[in-house]
């Protein structure tokens, strides 16, 4: 199975990060989400592929001092949970 993840827009409210930091975080989220899909499985409703404009994910609370990799893991795990029925 080939999994391609492309996050067009990642909205982070209340966070002050530069555009370059945002692009790095977006790439880390895509990588972590692809890993979750490989290891945990693709939810049934997603097996046919396609474009999904929005995944309900809920709020994520990020503690001060959280590094970009940890933040990406939190975001990806929340998005993955939002993909499940």
Consecutive H or E run containing 80: helix 68-83
| Distances, alpha carbon 38 to alpha carbons 14, 41, 42, 44, in Å | 31, 6, 7, 13
> Is the distance from CB of 15 to CB of 62 less than 8 angstroms?
yes
pLDDT of residue 35: 93
Neighbours of 82 (CB within 10 A): 13
Average pLDDT over every residue of 16-29: 88
Tokens of 64: 């001060």
As a whole number of Å, the CA-based R_g of the chain is 13
pLDDT per residue as tens digits for the range 23-82: 899 899 999 999 999 999 988 877 777 666 676 666 788 777 888 899 999 889 888 888
pLDDT of residue 56: 66
């Amino acid at each position: 199975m080939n999994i391609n993840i492309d996050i067009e827009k990642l909205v982070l409210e209340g966070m002050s990060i530069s555009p370059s930091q945002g692009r790095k975080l977006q790439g880390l989220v895509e990588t972590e989400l692809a890993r979750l899909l490989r290891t945990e499985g693709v939810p049934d409703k997603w097996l046919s592929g396609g474009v999904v404009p929005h995944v309900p994910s809920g709020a994520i609370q990020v503690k001060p001092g959280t590094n970009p990799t940890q933040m990406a893991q939190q975001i990806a795990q929340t998005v993955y949970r939002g993909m499940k029925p």
